Amino acid sequence: MKQKKWISMLGITALLGLAIASGCSSQEADSGLKKTELVMSGWGGNPVEKKLLEEVIAEFEELHPHIDVKFNVINDQYMDVLKTRLIGGTAADVFYLDAFEAPALMETGAVEPLNKYVTEDFDLEDFEKPMLEAFKQGETLYGVPKDYSTLALFYNKDLFKEAGISEPPKTWEEMEAAAKKLTKEGDVYGLGVLPNIERMYYMAESGDGQVITEDRATFADDKVVNELQPILDMRLKDKTAAQPSEAGAGTNAGEMFGRGKAAMVMEGNWNIPYLDETFPNIDYGTAEIPAIDGKKGTMSFTVGYAMNAESDHKEESWELISYLTGKEGMKKWTSKGFALPTRKSVASELGFDKDELRGPLVKGAEYATVWQDGPFLPIVMNNFNNQFLSAYLGERPLKEALEDAEKQANKEIKVTE
């Protein structure tokens, strides 16, 4: 049913019936061997990441001389472009797939199931379970996670010392108390906050409530509202929290932290190289996100490699995916720490699990809430964020704002069915 709905929404009726080329071709190598060209699509990265990917692909081609890989960069509106290419029969053999977008795309049949390609020596048990599960429907695997990041608590050691705080908070109550000591009116906030559901999903569901239930928005439930209210109270009552724009940092919590305008922020692995490059003099540490009601929680953001179901070179595509997400390929790709390896053995070999800054991020992987919850999460996200901000700014009660957001989200979901 959902497959038909998604196809209808895109204005097509026969995605699976198209007999098309997948953007691949074969060519004759100088050696006379017939070589297969695979096209892989993804988005661009920083220069270091680009170089790492080129090195990993070059190593793959050396070990697999019958395959050439062409990396196609889609810089803008990645998913829109990818969907259009899938519909038109011009999509790459292998492509990046964000866990956030995976459920909707997997339901269309456009993504090749991978179970029949996976061998025992590929060792699926080595992957962080939440990240692997993000690319499964039931027992069917549709993608292999290439990297991820969780959220950790970044804290300014100098500001902590000035406030007489000896260690980072371990519970939400401890964080609230620390934020009061760390706040300097008009200068420093105890906690920098990005007021969006992407960062607070684990918090919203830390009790018995659910943001989405059976493909319907349910985030106006009192059980969800009650779990989110403390983050508003820190801003509106205690005056100890603020979003980056209130400190002249746009939408970047890392900048707010780096400039010393927030003593604590909840950020991902990407914040480490950013701070090292942009604010090299700041003395900071990381810790696991403070527990809520005795329960550890954090978010996880992961991307996988998926295979085009219409590829003419599926065996070769799997050779590429299995190398890129195998131990050696993943070790090379994540070696500089820009992304965290989804294989536990690679994280251990690179020392990330014991690293002073990345260790807390790795520890959060096993209990993280992956940023994913069915095909309608994009609709839920947009409506939640639009109304939550008004409550965060004190313009209206949280319950009222989320009721309006929930109503609108479900109206839009109904239209797309």
Burial class (CB in 10 A: 0-12, 13-18, 19+), 116: exposed
Spatial CA neighbour of 169 closest among 71, 56, 268, 264: 264
Q: What percent of the chain lies above the pLDDT cut of 90?
A: 89
Spatial CA neighbour of 153 closest among 181, 182, 189, 193: 193
Give me the chain's average pLDDT, please.
92
Spatial CB neighbours of 71, under 8 Å, sequence gap ≥ 6: 40, 41, 42, 53, 54, 57
What's the predicted TM-score (pTM) here?
A: 0.90
More confident residue, 280 or 15: 280
What tens digit of pLDDT does each residue of 235-270 get? Answer: 999 999 999 999 999 999 999 999 999 999 999 999
Structure-token match 């003395």, residue found: 283
Question: What are the sequence ranges of the domains in the chain?
Answer: 2-149+300-370, 151-298+374-416
- Asked if 287 and 168 count as a contact pair (C-beta separation under 8 A), the reply is yes
Tokens of 231: 């983050």
Burial class (CB in 10 A: 0-12, 13-18, 19+), 312: middle
What does residue 74 show for φ and ψ, rounded to 5 degrees? -115, 105
Task: Give the whole-angstrom CA distance, residue 317 versus residue 323.
Answer: 10
- Asked if 23 and 317 count as a contact pair (C-beta separation under 8 A), the reply is no
In which band, very low, low, confident or very high, does the pLDDT at 33 lie, cut at 50, 70 and 90? low
Task: Give the whole-angstrom CA distance, residue 231 versus residue 236.
Answer: 9
Q: What is the mean pLDDT of residues 110-137?
A: 97
Task: Please count the helices (runs of H) and the strands (runs of E) in the chain.
Answer: 17, 15
Task: Give the whole-angstrom CA distance, residue 132 versus residue 149.
Answer: 13
Packing angle, helices 197-204 and 222-236, rounded to 10: 120
In which band, very low, low, confident or very high, does the pLDDT at 110 lie, cut at 50, 70 and 90? very high
Spatial CB neighbours of 185, under 8 Å, sequence gap ≥ 6: 239
Equal fold, 2-149+300-370 vs 151-298+374-416 = yes
Does 187 have pLDDT greater than 60?
A: yes
What tens digit of pLDDT does each residue of 300-335 get? Answer: 999 999 999 999 999 999 999 999 999 999 999 999
In which band, very low, low, confident or very high, does the pLDDT at 205 lie, cut at 50, 70 and 90? very high
Does 347 have pLDDT greater than 80?
A: yes
What tens digit of pLDDT does each residue of 35-67 get? Answer: 999 999 999 888 888 999 999 999 999 999 999
Does 160 have pLDDT greater than 80?
A: yes
3-state secondary structure of 276: helix
Taking the alpha carbons at both ends of the chain, their separation in whole angstroms is 9
Q: What is the pLDDT of residue 45?
A: 82
Q: What is the pLDDT of residue 12?
A: 36
Q: CA-CA distances (angstroms) from residue 368 to 100, 105, 203, 216?
A: 14, 23, 11, 22
Does 377 have pLDDT greater than 60?
A: yes
Task: Give the whole-angstrom CA distance, residue 398 versus residue 390.
Answer: 8
Structure-token match 């090195």, residue found: 55
Helix (H) or strand (E) holding 278: helix 271-278
Q: CA-CA distances (angstroms) from residue 20 to 25, 48, 161, 205, 363?
A: 12, 35, 63, 43, 44
Does 15 have pLDDT greater than 50?
A: no
What does residue 306 show for φ and ψ, rounded to 5 degrees? -125, 160
Domain 2-149+300-370: CATH superfamily, name plus number = Periplasmic binding protein-like II (3.40.190.10)
Class of the domain covering 151-298+374-416: alpha beta
Q: How many CB atoms lie within 10 A of CB 129?
A: 15
